A and B are shown apart, each in its own frame.
Chain A
Amino acid sequence: GNSVTQMEGPVTLSEEAFLTINCTYTATGYPSLFWYVQYPGEGLQLLLKATKADDKGSNKGFEATYRKETTSFHLEKGSVQVSDSAVYFCALLDAYQGGKLIFGQGTELSVKP
């Protein structure tokens, strides 16, 4: 079945450091891919997405490129801020039976001043 695997956290970085959170997927075909972010005490919200191979999603300084060769969708940011501290979830769209998102286990990011 479809699944998403993320690098384990927590990830702790200093402000202005470079961020990479790895995400790989297993799926039939080429599903749309997403990154969601969960700030403390809140529900998840969509951060960015890519709907086909080689697409790059971007938002708020974050980027991720859909790589079908490596079945990956790694999240990157060039310079993190304390306000980026959150849990990040990679997800894929399973379009079978109406459509649903399959999430990875989440990666907690903590950015220190």
Chain B
Amino acid sequence: NAGVTQTPKFRVLKTGQSMTLLCAQDMNHEYMYWYRQDPGMGLRLIHYSVGEGTTAKGEVPDGYNVSRLKKQNFLLGLESAAPSQTSVYFCASSYSVRDTGELFFGEGSRLTVL
């Protein structure tokens, strides 16, 4: 089973460039999340989705956009990348976080913005 797959795993961008991170899950989960991980800051929630066609803002949504057109995919977009967006990005999914609290994480995508 693939679980949660993130692409790409590594990317280097120049300031002002745009890109999209793709998250795909094959577990038929309703809930999907995008977090960023920075040293000393832990994981901070960027955006999340509680079902196909829905999205909501997390703690640090500025500079990012998301879409959930298909249940299995959750896209994170950076329209104009900034050095402050250099981070490791994690996607996660859950069948029912309110019942189990269990998130299944991808392996992460390391983004560097020069």
Q: Which residues of A contact B (CB under 8 A)?
A: 6, 32, 34, 36, 41-46, 49, 51, 89, 91, 93, 95, 97-106
Contact = CB atoms under 8 A, between A and B. Distances in A.
B78 interface: no
Contacts of B97: 93, 98-101
Nearest to B56: A97
A7 to B, nearest CB: 13
B105 interface: yes
Nearest to B59: A102
A41 B107 contact: yes
20 contacts: A6-B42, A41-B107, A43-B4, A43-B92, A43-B105, A44-B92, A44-B103, A44-B105, A46-B101, A46-B103, A89-B42, A89-B43, A93-B98, A95-B98, A97-B50, A97-B56, A100-B45, A100-B48, A101-B103, A105-B42
Contacts of A6: 42
4 closest A-B pairs (Cβ-Cβ)?
A43-B105, A98-B50, A105-B42, A99-B98
A43 B107 contact: yes
Contact of B101 (A41, A49, A104): A49
B43 A99 contact: no
Interface residues of B, number: 27
A81 to B, nearest CB: 23
Interface in B90-114: 90, 92, 94, 96-98, 101-103, 105-108
Nearest to A50: B101
Contacts of A49: 101-102
B13 to A, nearest CB: 22
Interface string B31-73: 1010100001111110010100000101000000000000000
Contacts of A41: 107
Contact of A98 (B56, B101, B102, B107): B56
A101 B59 CA distance: 11
Contacts of A104: 42
B24 to A, nearest CB: 14
Contacts of B45: 100-102
A93 B94 CA distance: 13
